[in-house]
Amino acid sequence: MNNTFSLDKLVRPNIMAMEPYSSARDEFEGSGSIYLDANENSLGSALDSSYNRYPDPRQNGIRKKLSELKSVADNEIFLGNGSDEAIDLLYRAFCEPGRDKAVIFPPTYGMYKVQASINNTPVLEIPLNSDFSLPVEKIKEIINPSVKMLFVCSPNNPTGNLMPKSSIIEVLKDFKGLVVVDEAYIDFAPEGSSMINEIKNYPNLVVLQTFSKAWGLASLRLGMAFAQKPVIDILNKIKYPYNVNGVTQSMVLDALKAFNKKDMMVNQILSLRDNLVQRLKSVSLVEKIYPTSANFILAKVPMANKVYIELVKQGIIVRNRSSVLLCNNCLRITVGTEKENSQLIKALTNIKIKVPAI
């Protein structure tokens, strides 16, 4: 247990002191037959279907279903407009602009740094070890009271590797700020890899997940944050009142009932991924495939910028990560359909790159 953690000391004083907006739907929660409290259009919508009512600001339906699915209490769940909203709100709640710091571990997801810049939060960058594992000892050396948050991405984007739970727990025990573990790809990792059931043990742990990847609902924009109630209460206090729109809420509720379809797609993607790895290994251009626990593969090729352009010429778009720390000459390839993967392999096989003699 982390006994020295104090949320009151971590939150920005203005956030601690403020009164949140109280919407019409906050002030009357039961059910009436006539709603004249929110200045909505009582006649309907400028569409055939009705969208004239404000959505549930607390997303009670989704949180109830999620709490069963994830075995956490519904008051330990925050829902936002993508996980990106949760990342933004975490900075705004906990980092005094221009003063408090965050730590990231490159190469990693770009949004941690972008949101920090918007919030004028200085970011300390501690590179991952060369095998992409967490630099636990360096973390212990560098953290000080001005550091409020660490962002650990697991499985990590763009490298694909899962960070061992033991290394994250070591950091959780040592650090008095928040450890944000971004699990956007956790459904593709072996069962039991998630940190979500550690929430009860660590008041400084925040786990992020999303409907954008395994659930196949990127367009709906729904992200989740899981943490103990005091942290979740702060995020809910500062979010936009109706941050998750009604269409998203009703579609995601349907998806949650069909979670077996998600599981089936995950299994299918995992077998497509393993097959793609095997086929990539037989392409002479491919120098190295990094181990992955996600729905993408990091591959090393000679002159990645050229390979990238050659693929684009054939209409195949991958992510060029060549300029990213520790990812020299690396392309990040999302697992596609059987047919898309075959076309990728064919295209790579046809690319002729002359590697200059050293």
Ligand X SMILES: *Cc1c(COP(=O)(O)O)cnc(C)c1O
CB of 275 to ligand X, least distance (A): 22
Tokens of residue 231, six digits = 């942290």
CB of 173 to ligand X, least distance (A): 24
Q: Which of residues 103-122 bind ligand X (CB under 6 A)?
A: 109
Torsion of CA 60, 65, 70, 72, to 10 degrees: 40
In the chain, the amino acid numbered 312 is V
Q: To 5 degrees, how large is the angle CA 322–CA 325–CA 328?
A: 35
Q: Which is nearer to ligand X, 86 or 283 (CB)?
A: 86
Backbone angles phi, psi at 152, to 5 degrees: -110, 125
Among 57, 106, 223, 336, binds ligand X (CB under 6 A): 223
**Quick one: which of 204, 212, 228, 341 contacts ligand X (CB under 6 A)?**
212
Region near ligand X per CB under 6 A, out of 95-103, 198-206, 207-215, 238-246: 207-215
Neighbouring-strand partners of residue 320: 331
| CB distance 56 to 65 below 8 Å | no
Rule CB under 6 A: choose which of 12, 57, 78, 83 binds ligand X.
83
The Cα 83–Cα 62 span in angstroms is 15
Pick 134 or 348: Cβ nearer ligand X? 134
Decide whether 11 or 186 has the Cβ nearer to ligand X. 186
Q: Which two tokens stand for residue 149?
A: 């948050």
Is the CB of residue 184 less than 8 Å from the CB of residue 213?
yes
13 to 98, 110, 231: CA distances (angstroms): 15, 28, 14
The binder of ligand X chosen from 10, 62, 66, 84 (CB under 6 A): 84
**In the set 119, 154, 159, 210, which binds ligand X (CB under 6 A)?**
210
Q: How far is the CB of 210 from ligand X (least distance, A)?
A: 3
The count of residues interacting with ligand X (CB under 6 A) is 13
- Indicate the DSSP class of residue 22: -
Residue 264 CB: number of other CB atoms within 10 A?
11
Q: Residue 160 is encoded by which pair of tokens?
A: 């694909």
Which residue has the closest beta carbon to ligand X? Answer: 82
Question: Beta 319-320 vs 330-334: how paired, if at all?
Answer: antiparallel
**Which residue matches tokens 């009670």?**
60
Residues 145-204 that bind ligand X (CB under 6 A): 153, 157, 182, 184
Member of 5, 55, 63, 82 binding ligand X (CB under 6 A): 82
Q: Which window, 19-27, 206-214, 269-277, 326-334, contacts ligand X (CB under 6 A)?
A: 206-214
In the complex with ligand X, the residue whose CB is nearer, 143 or 153, is 153
Q: How many CB atoms lie under 10 A from the CB of residue 34?
A: 6
> Given the complex with ligand X, which of 83 and 248 has the nearer CB atom?
83
Nearest CB to ligand X, comparing residues 248 and 285: 248
Residues near ligand X (CB under 6 A) are 82-84, 109, 153, 157, 182, 184, 210, 212-213, 218, 223
